[in-house]
Structures are given as structure tokens and as C-alpha cells.
Structure 1
Amino acid sequence: MRPWGRASTRHRRPRCCPDPCAQHRQRNLPKRAELRQDGREPKEPPMSVPHATPAYSELVASEVWRQEATEWIEDTVGRLGYRVRGPLTQPRIRPWSTQLVVPTDHGTVWFKAAGEPMRFEPGLQRLLARLLPDLVASPLAVDTARGWMLTADHGPLLADDAAAAGDDLREVVRVTARAQRALVEHRDALLATGMPDCSPSTIPERFDQLLDALAALPPDLPSHLEPSEADRFRARRAELVDACAAMAESDFPTTFQHGDLHLKNAYRAGGATRLFDFGDAQWAAAVEVLAVPHAIVSGDPDGPSWSSLVADYLAAWDLDHTTFGIAWNASHFTHAVNRAFTWWRCLQSATDDEWRQWGDAPLAHLREMMRP
């Protein structure tokens, strides 16, 4: 079993991070039941949500649902003092959410309906706007019971300006790191919205449940887990537990994790960078938020360097590269499980065709923990 206080050539470490072996001795890692910082036993993470009939995408495409949503939208914008000025359009339907575009005399308003796995998003955005008003815009209205919200149009996204993409991504990383640090003390309030608790202590149980759930999928669906591959995953479980223990001991805390941090989920308002789209958010190890930015710069030789993103991120935490290197190595295990969990939940109300379109994601993300 490899101690997480040491580097391994089997796990990629950012080039900017020195080998932590030189400065860190082997740790006495806590047992799995000792990982919770609050002293309680780890909770069993839910691996499914109630199956909807019809499927969520079929529900939100129905005339009955559209009429109900339209009535709520018209009543709500009316109470805001707005008037609808044209037909509502539905540009996108996914197994986990849908949007309606609402033209009003105060400009375009966006209606978002989140399915069961992401129903926490409206309440979460409302809370984040209260805690971080310079980073998150407050929704115009929310219905937390139904997972509905109205937001003002943000205008151009940061992704729309390709020439500034490198600088913008660095700024997104900087503001996100500062936000994470500010939100460390708000765990209970954030989890009360329904945002999943994916902290390190919850991951081993979630891993076990994922393996069972994927193995139970019909063989003709993507992400079906064959017994031989399941055995290979289980052979790495001890390393996963060690990674969770390393995260629990890290000077990087658990905090808000956006879950899908890229330039299509950011915009600029009043000279400030703002974030939105919080349906993938989790309470998790802080450094997991860098997984998507890392994938972006790894695939873009003309973009910012990984070392520059790490430096931007560390500036908000006042922690060194060695501490980051240990946490980042561990995150290859922890984030793989947590991201697979997000996708699994998103597909609980998917049709067979939707499973075939997106269903490879749970197993593909879980396999990240097996990469050399």
C-alpha cells in the first residue's frame, strides 16, 4: 500500500510541484471510520434518486408540464413588474434539466428547471448570492420544491471571447479559490440546500455502491461494469482509502466545489467575473475544483500553463506546492469517484436513448482513478 505522503510515478503530479517525498514522512493514516472531522460515522451516500415516470426529458417536453411552467413564469415575472413580450422557447432538454427563454419588456429572462438530482441548484444559487454577492448573481425568483428558478440574462460568456480565454481562465481560477476559502465556514448552510456531501469520508462507501450499481446495468448500456474490471477497481480500493485519508489530513479543507468550472459557466458584469450553473456542485476536497481547468489546459498547447493555474490557485490559500502536490495526487482518486457519482445521478431518469448518448460518462470518469 502506497503512503500518500510520497509521490509515485504511477500518478501524475503537476510539473510545478516538487516531489513531496523529500519533506513528508509516512503518515499514520486514519481508518475509514475515523475520517469524518466531526467525529461521526460516514453517512451512506445515496446512489439513486426516485425513478420518474415518464422520464424527465419526456415530462418537460409535455404540454401539461409546459403549461404549468408557463403559468408560473408569467405569474412570477408579473409580480416582478415585468411583462412577457413573446412566445417562450425551449432551446435545450437534457435528462437532468431544461431551460425556457422568456422575452420580457425588461430583457431576456431565463427559466431553468432542474431534475431531482439537481433540484438543490436554485436554493444553492440563492444562498451563494447572499454569501458571495460579487461572484454570484441572485436569481430573480426560485421555487425550491420544484427546482425552478428565473435569472436575468448574463450577456456574453467568457467563452465567447477566444482571444482572452487564457487570461479569463486564470481569473476564473483565482476568484473560485477565493470563494472556496470564504465558504469553508458555511458547510451546514450549503448542505442544507441539498447539495451533495462528497467529502473524503463519504467516498469509500460511494465507490463500493458505484461498482455495484454499474455492474447491475444491462450489458447493452454504456457504463456496464464487467466482473473482471470490477475486480481491478476493487484491487485499488486500499489506495482510494489512503487518498481519502490524505485529503482529510490536508491543509486544503473541504469546501464548495463548483463541479464544472470552465468559461462557458462564467461571465463578466460590472467589471467582475461571475459564475453560474451550479447543478454539479458538491461539498468536497477543495483542489477537486481544478480537474476541469486541468483538462482544458492539457488539451490546449496555446492556453495558459498548468503551473500558472496552480500558482493562481495557491495564491488564495497561502499554501505551498508540496502541500498542493499531495492533495492533487489524491484527487485523482477522490474526484474520479465524485464525478462518476454526479453523472450516475444525472442519468437516473434518462431514457434508453439518453443512456446510450451520455451513459458512458459514469464509468469513464471512474476509470480516471486507474490511469497511470
Structure 2
Amino acid sequence: MERPFSERVAHDDWRRAAEEWVRCELDRSGRRVTGTIEQPRIRPWSTQLTIPTDVGPMWFKATCAAQAFEPALQAELARIAPDAVERPYAIDPARGWMLTVHRGETLADAHEATADDWVRVLRQAAELQRAAASEAHALLATGLPDCGPGTVVSRFDRIVEVLSSLPEEHPAHVPAELRSELLAVRPRLVDAADLLAASPLPATWQHGDLHPNNVFACDGRVFDFGDSQWAPAVEMLSVPYGWITTQSQVSWPDVLAAYCDVWGTTVAAVRPEWDAAAYTQPVNRTLLWWSCLQEATAAEWAEWGDAPLHHLSRVLDP
């Protein structure tokens, strides 16, 4: 059995291979490494290398198998909307590797996001969603998970059964009482998925983790696409809603109105879809966490392993 992702990418052999690939890609355009390549962070789902070069710093990212689609996805999104997404400098889709130019600090590092910042971010993300909506074939071909409305109920059924069958000591185990509660809410999930399938707002790309740490301060472009899914458009609002309503004084209705305006609709008109997404988004978010932790160590399961259970349980109190 292959070693956990975090152990593989901490090994000297992996580092040598990654750095060799980076140097080779830089050589193609006459760039060169000018200092020590650092590895600032390793997580169960990804790791990064920082590369000093003669034309400025660059970033290398490697992902676990569940997020290996990210380099190809970012390249496709940059093709679809070059003003909204930075084109990767180089990618290796087979290995889930990507090299990008450093674009400075994030919005979160620069300052506390203002209402104007959030409006700009949500408007730009909505415009990207509109452009991506007609590109299903190209985006799904990258490996982007298909979490469209028609897939949600069967996914819910599978997840409930899988987590229920885990050992009781497992951090993602669904006990019998919770399983009964989840199954009782299933009819509401069915109705929510049906409503979203019939919605004038389409299934499209959704970022999955849109917050100020994943937005560049210099131009408002979003990055970090490893949590992306093909899903109901309004599911992208879940993370901004949670961030704004718990960590800032920004008015959520104003930000939501800006998002709706890009789609040519209103807050009142989109309210049924927003309510429905409160059932579907937790199921799709659970898939993300469960998939990413398949390459985790025992210690990482202990640290993050309750995330699938946490997100699945959100369908009980949308």
C-alpha cells in the first residue's frame, strides 16, 4: 500500500523529483533558481514549495490524488476567464503538480476585508461561474468532481452507509441515532436537489472555499482551486456567508445582492435556491473532506477526521 501523501512529499526522493521538475520548467524560458527552495507547509491534501528565481519568487503546489485535478482545472479556468484566474506557469496533470508566479499577499494578509472587497470578490466569482457554466465538458474532463443536483441524493445515501459502517472509535463514525436523524431528513434533501435541478441558476464551477485567504490583494483574483466542484451555482455562497456572518461586520444582504445582480436576478428570487443549497452543500462538502483524507496518516485522521461528520450533520440544521 502506498504511503500517506504527507509522508511521501516529506521524503528526500520526492523533493529531488519535484525540484528537478521545477528547474526544468524554469529552464524552458531561461529562468533560474537563485536560492534555497523551501517547503513551508505539508497537509494531508497538499504541499507547497517556495522558489526564489532571478525574476521573482514562484510557488510550486502538489496535491493528493483527490485534488490532482487542480492544475488542469486552473489552466482551463484561466482559458475561460483570463482576467479572473491566473494562468499557471507550468502544470503536470498526471502528478497533480503546478508552478505559479507569486502575486503578493492575500486579501486577508493585506487588511480585514471590507464590504467593497467582498462585493468585488463575489461579483468576479459570479462572472466566472457564468462563463464556466457552458464549459461543463472541458471542466469535468480535468477531473473536477461532478456534484450536480442529480448526483446529491445518491451521494448522501452512500456517505451515510459508509460512515455508519466505520468502527465506533473512528472520528467520522455515524452512530445509530445520528443515522436515523439523517435518514429522516432525506426527503427534504430530495426536494432541495429537485428544486436546484429545475433552477434557472445552473450547475457550474464553484470554488468550494472562497474567503480572503484565497484571494490576491493586488487584483482580487481567486486562487486555490483544490476544493472546487461542479455544483449548483449558489453553493459557492456557503463559505462567504459563514465567513461574513461570523468574522466581520459586513452586511451579508448587500454582498448577496451584488452576486445576484451578476446573474440578473434578485435576493428574493434566489432565496429558494439558497435555502435548498443549505441541504446539498453539506453533502458535497462531506465528499470533499472524505476524499482528501483517504491518504491521511493516523495522526492526521485524529486531527481532521471529524470534518466529514461535522459537514454531513449540517443537513439537520440548515
Matched, 1:58 2:7: yes
User: Partner residue of 1:126?
Assistant: 75
User: Partner residue of 2:182?
Assistant: 233
Alignment of 1:163-312 (within 5 A): 163-269=112-218, 272-300=219-247, 302-312=248-258
Structure 1 distance, partners of 2:117, 2:91, is 29
Moved more, 206-215 or 110-119: 206-215
Deviation at 1:252, TM superposition (A): 1.1
Deviation at 1:268, TM superposition (A): 4.0
User: Partner residue of 1:11?
Assistant: none
By relative contact order (CA 8 Å, sep 6+), the higher-ranking structure is 1
AA partner of residue 146 (structure 2): D
Deviation at 1:217, TM superposition (A): 2.4
Matched, 1:336 2:282: yes
AA partner of residue 27 (structure 2): G
| CA RMSD of superposed structures (Å) | 1.2
Task: State the TM-score, normalizing by the size of structure 1.
Answer: 0.83
The gaps in structure 2 that reach 5 residues or longer are none
- 1:348 aligned counterpart, secondary structure: helix
Matched pairs, number: 318
- 1:256 aligned counterpart, secondary structure: strand
Deviation at 1:195, TM superposition (A): 0.3
Deviation at 1:104, TM superposition (A): 0.8
**Which aligned segments of 4 or more residues in structure 1 are displaced greater than 6 angstroms?**
none
Listed one character per residue, the Cα deviations across residues 286-311 of structure 1 (whole Å, up to 9, x for unaligned) are 000000111012113x5211111111
Moved more, 316-325 or 112-121: 316-325
Structure 1 distance, partners of 2:68, 2:188, is 33
Alignment of 1:135-146 (within 5 A): 135-146=84-95
Listed one character per residue, the Cα deviations across residues 55-85 of structure 1 (whole Å, up to 9, x for unaligned) are 0100100111111111111111111211111
Q: 1:154 to 1:348 in 2, by over 3 A?
A: same
Structure 2 distance, partners of 1:321, 1:82, is 49
AA partner of residue 15 (structure 2): R
Moved more, 337-346 or 316-325: 316-325
AA partner of residue 146 (structure 1): R
Matched, 1:365 2:316: no
Identity %: 46
AA partner of residue 275 (structure 1): V
Deviation at 1:171, TM superposition (A): 1.1
- 1:145 aligned counterpart, secondary structure: coil
Moved more, 124-133 or 210-219: 210-219
Counterpart pick for 1:97 among 46, 49, 53: 46
Structure 2 distance, partners of 1:102, 1:217, is 42
User: Partner residue of 1:313?
Assistant: 259
Structure 2 distance, partners of 1:113, 1:161, is 26
Q: Highest CA radius of gyration, 1 or 2?
A: 1
Structure 2 distance, partners of 1:70, 1:314, is 44
AA partner of residue 117 (structure 2): D
Structure 1 distance, partners of 2:307, 2:113, is 30
User: Partner residue of 1:42?
Assistant: none
Task: State the TM-score, normalizing by the size of structure 2.
Answer: 0.97
Deviation at 1:98, TM superposition (A): 0.6
Matched, 1:347 2:293: yes
Deviation at 1:320, TM superposition (A): 2.6
Alignment of 1:79-94 (within 5 A): 79-94=28-43
